[in-house]
Amino acid sequence: SGCWSAGQSVSAPFLTPFSRLHDVFACFATPSVMWRPMRVELDTGEKVSDALRNAFDDLSSSDLTVTVQGKPIHVHKSLLKIRCQHFRSMFQDHWQEDTLSVLEMNQYSYNVYRAFLEYLYTDQVSLPPESALELLDLANAYCESHLKRRCEQIIKHGITVENAAMLYSTALVYQAK
């Protein structure tokens, strides 16, 4: 088949019957290797991050409905407990909240509380700076330091001449940087 014996040395280049590098490896490699490249199909299944994003506000899989200003947000107690100390404490066996399937939360606006819950699922925040102030208040109240830093970034990047004084005074209240 055109293979030379093992241990043969080549001191000068010359024409060989091989047309592809794979054929050379198939002939000379020890141990033998495949002479054709192996094709690997990548799994295009859903990533964990995508699955969590899709699970947010999904009525079919949720076990808790958080109602804010009369509007429902469908969530999963286990994920809330995993991601947030506030919910870990709230959903203890000996607390009444652990048995609830609907939880009323009216301390914050719907958009801000929804953004907070979505953050717990996706680790992302998309709010304008003015709403990020209210989310900063929530992050402060729930002791969510990472979310607090994210809000600070949103606020910093959204500073304009028109809102600078208001944002600065609010930042002082929450000891934001």
Q: Taking the chain (177 residues) in consecutive chunks of 10 residues, what is each chunk's mean pLDDT?
A: 58 77 73 68 82 95 95 96 93 70 92 97 91 92 95 88 82 69
Quick one: pLDDT at residue 1? Answer: 46
Please say whether the dihedral angle defined by the alpha carbons of residues 130, 131, 134 and 139, taken in this order, is positive or negative.
negative
Q: Domain 49-123 falls in which CATH fold?
A: Potassium Channel Kv1.1; Chain A (3.30.710)
Quick one: pLDDT at residue 74? Answer: 97
- How many Cβ atoms from other residues are within 10 Å of residue 10's Cβ? 8
Quick one: pLDDT at residue 9? Answer: 66
Quick one: pLDDT at residue 114? Answer: 97
Quick one: pLDDT at residue 104? Answer: 93
Please say whether the dihedral angle defined by the alpha carbons of residues 169, 173, 176 and 177, taken in this order, is positive or negative.
positive
Quick one: pLDDT at residue 177? Answer: 62
pTM, two decimals, is: 0.69
Quick one: pLDDT at residue 139? Answer: 95
As annotated, the residues of the chain forming the CATH 3.30.710.10 domain(s) are 49-123
Contacts of 65 (CB under 8 A, 6+ apart): 72, 73, 74, 75, 101, 102, 103
